Amino acid sequence: MKQCESCGMPLDEKTTSVFDDRYCIHCQDQQSGELASKEQVREGSINAAMKFMGKTREEAEKMADVMMPKLPRWRE
Ligand SMILES: [Zn+2]
């Protein structure tokens, strides 16, 4: 499945940005087309891991810091 190149979430017809199909609706503002900052994306991933995967803040931060550098938008 296609993944958002900014946060890694799976993309389907509901979550794909209308401006750029590489990104999801959480990473790109669907009114202005503005992309979320790295810090905003990191925070979103941390919150999702805590909420949906039951991780502690510390575990969720570690996961985000391992996962994000692998995504095309943040790859160096
Ligand atoms: Zn995203």
pLDDT digits (tens, 9 = 90+) for 3-18: 999 999 999 999 999 9
User: Rounded to whole angstroms, how far apart are CA atoms 2 and 23?
Assistant: 10
Residue 14 lies in a domain: no
Work out the mean pLDDT of the chain and round it to a whole number.
Answer: 96
Residue 74 makes CB contacts below 8 A (sequence gap 6+) with 6, 38, 68
- Cα(6) to ligand 1 centroid in Å equals 5
Residue 61 backbone dihedrals phi, psi, to 5 degrees:
-65, -40
Domains identified in the chain, total number: 1
Over range 28-42, report the average pLDDT: 98
Tell me which residue range forms the domain holding 57: 38-70
- In contact, 28 and 35? CB cutoff 8 Å: yes
Q: Is residue 48 part of a domain?
A: yes
Tell me how far the alpha carbon of residue 76 lies from the centroid of ligand 1, in angstroms: 18
pLDDT of 76 over the 90 cut: no
Percent of the chain scoring above 90 in pLDDT? 97
What is the value of pTM for the model shown? 0.89
pLDDT score of 1: 82
**Does residue 53 fall inside a structural domain?**
yes
50 located within any domain: yes
